Amino acid sequence: MKFDSWYLTDVGRRRETNQDSCLINRELGLFIVADGMGGHSGGEVASAMAVETVEEMMLQPDAMKKSPRELLQLAYEEASRRIFDKAATERPELAGMGTTMVMAHVRGKHLYVGNVGDSRCYLFKKPYLYQITEDHSLINEQLRAGVMTEEQVMQFVGRNVITRSVGYERDVYPDIIEREISPGEIFLMCSDGLSGLVSDQRISEILNQNTPDKAVKACVEQALANGGDDNVTVMLLHFHE
């Protein structure tokens, strides 16, 4: 299965630094978006460490002998341990740092998606958009429990609180999703700098109205137009024959 890939990241309009990190490694079939959290540059350090650790794990000689699910699980576990230990033993001023991380790994005709936190992966099959990851966030827990409605989301005080991250605790439990790829499918991964400011309906409209390469820029521009309150990263994979 052939595919094209694009990404764009922007610091946004209200932040001084970009704590998002991302990776495209076509040879490994590895694609990552990580959104760091933590003061004193902790978020920037955590997201960069997470991305670097996963790529390092994938480059090990025996990596591709493991099943994709096992490989993603081990990569998340190692990234979380390294981030936690760095704050605990080397950089105490970074205590509490962590990062979301959504990743996609292409293996043959299958795509394996790992997720921790509230960065997202969407599937776009023209003309419909589907969120295939589930947010590990306080607001999503409230929605699932029926405590609030979709209409109340924007007024929710803790809407940026995540309930699972890489590195905040030493152990982490990622969600891992497997999907057989079909030609024409588009997978969009993003930090909440996009999904928190641009509705799924609007993202779907952008994908329907633009070619994949232009859709990435259009998504970022829409997030900035809607206030640009956070760093924003958008990555897109387009599969074809």
The answer to whether 41 and 97 are in contact (CB under 8 A) is no
Write the CB contacts of 129 (distance below 8 Å, at least 6 apart in sequence): 122, 123, 200, 203, 204, 207
Tokens matching residue 187: 């997978």
pTM: 0.93
151 CB-near residues (< 8 Å, 6+ apart): none
Q: Tell me the pLDDT band of 146, cut-offs 50, 70 and 90.
A: low
Q: 26 pLDDT exceeds 90?
A: yes
Beta bridge pairs of residue 113: 104, 177
- 2-240 CATH, one of 3.60.40.10, 3.30.70.1140, 3.50.50.60, 3.20.20.10: 3.60.40.10
Domains of the chain, by residue range, sit at 2-240
pLDDT score for 33: 98
Q: What is the DSSP letter of 46?
A: H
Q: What is the pLDDT of residues 103-120, one digit of tens each?
A: 999 999 999 999 999 999
Confidence class for position 156, pLDDT limits 50, 70, 90:
low
- Name the strands in the sheet holding 120-125, side by side, starting at the edge strand that comes first in the sequence: 2-10, 232-240, 186-190, 120-125, 128-131
